[in-house]
Amino acid sequence: MKTKIAAAVALACLSSVALAQSKQGTDAGWYVGAHLGQSRTNFNSSDYSLTFAGVSTTKDDNDTAWKLLLGYNFDQNWALEGFYTDLGSPKMKYASAGLNGEATVKNDSWGLALKGTIPVHAQWDIYGRLGWTYNRSSMNTSFDRALPFFGGTDTRSGWSADESRSDVLLGAGVEWKPQKNWGIRLEYENYGQFGNTLDSYSKTGRTDVDMWSLGVVVRF
C-alpha cells in the first residue's frame, strides 16, 4: 500500500514540475540548505521487548539529527527538493539481575519531496512537504550472555543487521527570509518506518522516526 502511495507522490511531483515549468517567474532558481535538530525514534514494542522475567528496558530514543538538501523553486509556491538526513543512533537498553545489554539502531534517509509554500508576509512563508524516502537502518546488539531468539536453538550474545525500505515523508514548516537570497526554517518531518519485523538475525526491527530541526537555505 505504501509503495503505491510513494508512486502516487512521485507522479504528483513530476506533474507539478511540468506545470510549474510553464509558469516560471522571478522566483525560479536553485537553492541549497542544511538543518540541525533532534530526532525521536519510536521502537516497535513487539520487536524490541524481551520476554525474560525481570528485565527492565530503557529507551534512549532522542538523538542529534541533521539534513542536507538541494532544491529548485519553480515559482514562489512550488519547489522540488532532494535530501539526505542522518537521524542519529538511538538505543534500547536492557537490565536485570542476570542480564545487561543494548540494541543500537542507526537510521538515515535519502529522499525526494514536493514543497508547497504559502507566502503570508514579505519575509514569512509557511509550507508543507510531501515526498518519498529510501530509509536505511543498521542495528547492532550486545549482551553480557548468549540468549535464544526466534524460537530456535541458536543463541548469540550479539549480532548486526542492515535493512532498507521506502516510505512516505510528511513535513511542515515556517521560513523567515531576512534577505531575498537566504532564509531560516523551523521544520517538522515524519520519515515513516525503518526496518521490518524482527523475526530473524537478518532483520533490524521496526522503528518510526520524526524530526524537529532549524535550518538555513541559500538561493542562487
Residue 9 pLDDT: 45
**Alpha carbons 25 and 46: distance in angstroms, whole number:** 52
- Residue 196 backbone dihedrals phi, psi, to 5 degrees: -140, 175
Local confidence pLDDT in tens for the 220 residues of the chain: 544 444 444 444 444 444 444 444 557 999 999 999 999 999 998 888 876 667 888 889 999 999 999 999 999 999 999 999 999 999 999 888 777 889 999 999 999 999 999 999 889 999 999 999 999 999 999 888 887 776 666 788 888 999 999 999 999 999 999 998 999 999 999 999 999 998 888 899 999 999 999 999 999 9
Helix (H, G, I), strand (E, B) or coil at 74: coil
Burial 81-115 (b: 16+ CB within 10 A, else e): bebebbbbbbbbebeeeeeebbbbbbbbbebbbbb
**Alpha carbons 127 and 187: distance in angstroms, whole number:** 9
Q: What is the DSSP letter of 6?
A: H
State in Å, rounded, how far the first CA of the chain is from the last one: 38
Q: Which fold has domain 27-44+59-195+207-219?
A: Porin (2.40.160)
Burial of 186 (0-12, 13-18, 19+ CB in 10 A): middle
Q: What is the DSSP letter of 142?
A: E
**Biggest alpha carbon distance in the chain?**
68
What residues does each domain of the chain span? Answer: 27-44+59-195+207-219
Residue 69 pLDDT: 98
**Alpha carbons 188 and 148: distance in angstroms, whole number:** 40
Cell numbers describing residue 168: 512516505
Q: Give the type of residue at 93.
A: K
- Residue 199 backbone dihedrals phi, psi, to 5 degrees: -120, 10
